[in-house]
Amino acid sequence: MLLSNKQARSARVHLGLNQENVGKAIGVHKQQLSRFEKGHQELSTKNLNKLTKFFEERGLEFLENNGLREKHSYVKNYLGKEGFKMFMDDVYEVASHEGGDICIFNSKPELWYEWLTREWYEDVHAARMKKLGDKIRIRIIVQKDEDLLILNSAEHRYYPKALHNEKIFYIYGSNSAYLSFANNNVEIRVFKQKEFADIHRELFELSWDHSEHIN
pLDDT of residue 72: 60
User: If pLDDT is split at 50, 70 and 90, which confidence band does 108 have?
Assistant: confident
Give the model's pLDDT for residue 18.
86
**pLDDT score of 1:** 66
Structure confidence at residue 68 (pLDDT):
82
What domains are defined for the chain? 5-72 (1.10.260.40), 76-213 (3.30.870.10)
Tell me what pLDDT residue 107 has. 75
Which pLDDT score, from 0 to 100, does residue 166 have? 65
pLDDT-derived band at 144 (thresholds 50, 70, 90) equals confident
Confidence of residue 102 (pLDDT cuts 50, 70, 90): very high
Q: What would the pLDDT profile of 175-215 be if each residue is shown by its tens digit?
A: 999 998 887 888 899 988 888 899 999 999 998 998 888 76
- DSSP per-residue letters across the chain: ----HHHHHHHHHHTT--HHHHHHHHT--HHHHHHHHTTSSPPPHHHHHHHHHHHHTTTEEEETTTEEEE-SS-EEEEEHHHHHHHHHHHHHHHHHHH-EEEEEEEE-HHHHHHHH-HHHIIIIIIHHHHHTGGGEEEEEEEETT------TTSEEEEE-GGG--SEEEEEETTEEEEEEEETTEEEEEEE--HHHHHHHHHHHHHHHHTSEEP-
pLDDT of 123 reads 93
- pLDDT tens, position by position, 28-63: 999 999 999 999 989 999 999 999 988 887 778 888
pLDDT at 59: 74
Band of residue 164 on the pLDDT scale cut at 50, 70, 90: low
**Mean pLDDT of the region 121-129:** 92
- Quick one: pLDDT at residue 210? 86
168 pLDDT exceeds 70? Answer: yes
pLDDT tens-digit map of 62-87:
888 888 887 665 778 888 898 999 99
The pLDDT value given to residue 36: 92
